[in-house]
Structure 1
Amino acid sequence: MSALLALSASLLWGLADFGGGALTRRLPALAVVVASQLAAAVVLVVAVLATGGLADASPMLWYAVAAGVVGPFAMLAFYRALALGPMGVVSPLATVGVAVPVGVGLVLGERPGLLQAAGIAVAVVGVALAGGPERGGRSAGRTVLLLTLGAAFGFGAVMALVSHASSEGGLLLTLCVQRLCNIAVGGAVLAPMLRPAGTGRALGRELRGRMPALTAVGVADVAANGTYALASHSGSAAAAAVLASLFPVVTALMARGVLKERLRPVQVLGAGLAVAGTLLLAAA
């Protein structure tokens, strides 16, 4: 069950990243982050109130607050990198952030079995190769690389913080607090950019026209966080983190099918190794 949940999180994150990256090519990255998270927060607030989730409040929610502070900056960096570079290259590089939750799991005493360790190693190599040889080329310059690595470790920190915040239950409330903090932090940074006369109104019209897509991105992202948290609690957190980090394969395939981005042979090899690692982990 843990493997299935983690793979579901990977699929949802891949879809959200493709949608967010595509929107960022038409809208400011920070506006996409804030608007998509606002849509997700509305859904979560309704869900928390409808299920009596406020009763689950505990000091563990401070970890959700921390995730909510880190998240907007990670998403902003990642969406900006997706807008500047090819999705099929940028997205796989973001998986290096899996080192954060995997490292936390090991520090807390998790010791994966031989088959799991092999699966983790193969999957990590696979997603690294999926970045292809363009990492040092013109299409993925220094700025894109730095943005992607910053986003990667930010995402890894968010995964670990959300998992810890929901370890005693209250997953819906955890995700709700995280999203509300996302909006507060992202909105505080976005507000000064809207001060020039007419800028805010023009951006508002653009956002309203794309609100269905923004809502889909936000809901997919929060659903991915939720399924990942469930996966990390129902099995090995390290294995769940690696399986959930396979989302770049989804993003790269969608970029190939929808945007007609071409993958190099080494990227195809990387995707194949990622799938092989997934099968090893699922069988463990």
Structure 2
Amino acid sequence: MVSLLALASSLVWGTSDFFAGLASRRHPAVVVVGWTQGLALVVVSAIVLFRWQHFTLDTWPLWSVAAGLAGMTGLVCFYSALSTGTMGVVAPIASLGVVVPVVLGVASGDTPSAWAWVGMLVAVVGVTLASGPELSGEVGARPVVLASVAAVGFGLALFFLDRGARESALLTLWGMRLTSVTVLVVAALVVRSVGSVRPREIPGLLAIGCGDLAANFLFGIASSRGQVSVASVLGSLYPVATIVLARLVIGERLRRIQQVGVLLALGGAAVIAL
């Protein structure tokens, strides 16, 4: 059951990220993050108000603030990378953020098998091959750098989310969204702009925000009931959905060396899960 929840989170994340990437080609990434996070906050706040009498105040606020800051940083960088780089390359690089919760999970008591370390090595080799054309200067290194920063942000967010979800997955998600939206609202006030989002775009942004929210919730439940290291790896398979959608919807193609690299990166993540 834990594995199914973690895999479901990767499917929802990958789908949400694909459409967020498309939205980021029409608007700055920070605008997409602000609107999707804000709309998701409205949804999760309504749920929290409905169930508030069942909650207690423990240490989840600290974990939710940390997860919110890390996750927001990761999303802004990730959406920016998706808007300027090849989705099939950017997504696998960002997915290597799984190394962060795996290492932190092991340090805090998780005991994944030796195959996990083999999988990490395979994944690193794969992402290096997938990033080759970008790093060579043929396309530009900016998407790779942004995706790498996103990887660290996502990895830390997953670990913090896991710790908060051990007390309350729903409240941790609410705290995450409240933190990120507060920061983004302050930024919007400073620049005196909320982006040029048209009313007809709001339902799509709402769907993206709810998708990210649902994926975080599924992951939080999975990790809090099992090992965060294992759940993180399964959740990191989200690039599969992003790559398939990019191929089917916008006809995005990868060079052969990138195809091999992407397969190795995803294969490495799968080996860790074993």
Q: Name the CA distance, whole Å, in 1 between partners of 2:268 and 2:225.
A: 20
Equivalent residue for 2:142?
Answer: 143
Distance 1:7 1:121, change over 3 A: farther
Q: 1:48 to 1:132 in 2, by over 3 A?
A: same
8 Å Cα contact 1:127/1:248 also seen in 2: no
1:30 corresponds in structure 2 to 30
Alignment partner, residue 239 of structure 2: 248
Query: Which structure 1 residue ranges, 4+ long, deviate > 6 Å from structure 2?
Result: none
Q: CA deviation at 1:268?
A: 3.6
Note if contact 1:92-1:130 (Cα within 8 Å) is conserved in structure 2: no
Query: Equivalences for 1:21-170 in 2 at 5 Å?
Result: 21-52=21-52, 55-114=55-114, 124-125=123-124, 128=127, 131=130, 133-138=132-137, 140-168=139-167, 170=168
Distance 1:278 1:88, change over 3 A: closer
Q: Deviations over 1:29-86 (max 9, x none)?
A: 1111011011111111111122236623222221101111222222111111111111
Q: What residue is the counterpart of 2:201 in the other structure?
A: 210
Q: Per-residue displacement from partner, 1:2-52 (whole Å, max 9, x unpaired)?
A: 211111111111111111110010012111101101111111111112223
Equivalent in the alignment of 1:17: 17
Cα gap change, 1:142 to 1:14, in 2 (>3 Å):
same
- Confirm or deny: 8 A CA contact 1:126 1:271 kept in the other structure: no
Q: Displacement of 1:273 after TM fit?
A: 4.6
Q: Deviations over 1:130-182 (max 9, x none)?
A: 735323144642322221111110111111111111112x2111101110111
Q: Distance in 2 between matches of 1:83 and 1:52?
A: 38
Is 1:219 aligned with 2:219? no
Structure 2 runs not aligned, ≥5 long: none
Deviates more, 1:12-21 or 1:57-66: 57-66
Contact 2:25–2:83 (Cα < 8 Å) also in 1: yes
Question: What CA distance in whole angstroms lies between the structure 2 residues aligned with 1:78 and 1:115?
Answer: 28
- Offset, 1:267: 3.9
Q: Offset of 1:109 from its aligned partner?
A: 2.0
Deviations 1:178-235, CA, capped at 9 Å, x for gaps: 101110011212322235xxxx5xx35x242211110111011011111111111222
Change (3 A) 1:132 1:266: farther
Task: Tell me how far apart the structure 2 counterparts of residues 73 and 279 of structure 1 sit (CA, whole Å).
Answer: 26
Number of residue equivalences: 274
Distance 1:238 1:73 in 2: 22
Cα distance change, pair 277–81 in 1 and its aligned pair in 2 (3 A): closer
Name the stretch that deviates more: 133-142 or 71-80.
133-142
Give the Cα separation in 2 of the matches to 1:268 and 1:110.
32
TM-score for both structures, normalised by structure 1: 0.86
Aligned pairs for 1:225-236 within 5 A: 225-236=216-227
SS state at 1:214 partner: helix
The residue matched to 1:111 in structure 2 has which SS? coil
Match of 1:239 among 230, 243, 257: 230
Cα RMSD after superposing both structures: 2.4
Tell me, yes or no, if the aligned pair for 1:78 and 1:151 is still in contact at 8 Å: yes
Decide whether aligned partners of structure 1 residues 91 and 274 sit closer, same or farther in structure 2, where only a CA change above 3 A counts: closer
State the distance in 1 between where 2:91 and 2:47 align: 31
Cα pair 2:15 2:242 within 8 Å, conserved? yes
Amino acid at match of 1:221: D
TM-score normalised by structure 2 residue count: 0.89
State yes or no: 1:6 paired with 2:12.
no
Contact 1:36 1:217 in 2 (8 A): yes
Distance 1:68 1:184 in 2: 10
Residues of 2 paired with 1:134 and 1:215: CA distance?
Answer: 34
User: 2:127 touches 2:265 (CA, 8 Å); kept in 1?
Assistant: no
How far is the alpha carbon of 1:266 from its aligned partner?
3.7
